[in-house]
Amino acid sequence: MLTLFAAEAEAVNNPILPDPSEMFWGGLMFALFYVLMRYVLLPPVQRTMEERDEAIRADWDAAKDAEARIANAGAEAADALAPTKAEASELIEAARTEAEAERAQIIGAAQAEIDAMRQMASSQIEAARAEAMGGVGAQVAELTAAATTKVIDRPVDAATAQGVVNRIMSERS
């Protein structure tokens, strides 16, 4: 019975263990594909990856250089504009000072003109008042003399009444 089991055990193929010929051809194909991949197919792929890396590094460096140039150009533009801004500020300040001086001059001239007009108007008013008082004073003196003559029933001289009227008028002004 043992021999029966031993014969059956040899006849049964183990599904896990491959045939030696399959192992030989599998190993040979593996070695052939390894050599093909390692020396024929992989080098162009690696070369392409290295070229891409170099291109990315070159672009990155170019971007950094461009950024530095932009920063320098901005600084140069600011430096170039600084004197212009200072000059513009000086011009504005000079114009402001000149405008202020001209304004003061115009105001002074207007004030002098107003003072002259006031003086002229005051002298004209004074002259008109003096003329009015002079003309009115004589008439008031005559009326006063006539009224006084009627009230006290005695004759009053217009010259005497004129003195009294002039004194009262000078007290009121």
Taking only the tens place, the pLDDT of each residue in 54-85 is 999 999 999 999 999 999 998 888 888 888 88
Distance CA 127, CA 129 (A): 5
Sequence ranges of the domains in the chain: 18-172
Task: Determine the average pLDDT of the residues in 89-98.
Answer: 92
pLDDT digits (tens, 9 = 90+) for 141-172: 777 778 777 777 777 777 777 777 777 777 76
Does 7 score more than 60 pLDDT? Answer: no
The pLDDT assigned to 19 comes to 83
More confident call, 149 vs 103: 103
The pLDDT assigned to 31 comes to 96
Instruction: Return the SS3 of 76.
Output: helix
Distances (CA, A) of 26 to 23, 39, 115, 170: 5, 20, 125, 148
The pLDDT assigned to 37 comes to 93
Burial label, 64 (beta-carbon count in 10 A; 0-12, 13-18, 19+):
exposed
Task: Determine the average pLDDT of the residues in 95-114.
Answer: 93
Distance CA 101, CA 105 (A): 6
Share of the chain above pLDDT 70, in %: 90
pLDDT band at 132; cut points 50, 70, 90: confident
- The tally of CA atoms less than 13 A away on the side-chain side of residue 75 is 6
The first and second tokens of residue 95, run together, are 């114009």
Length of the chain: 173
- The answer to pTM > 0.75 is no
pLDDT band at 6; cut points 50, 70, 90: low
Distance CA 97, CA 90 (A): 10
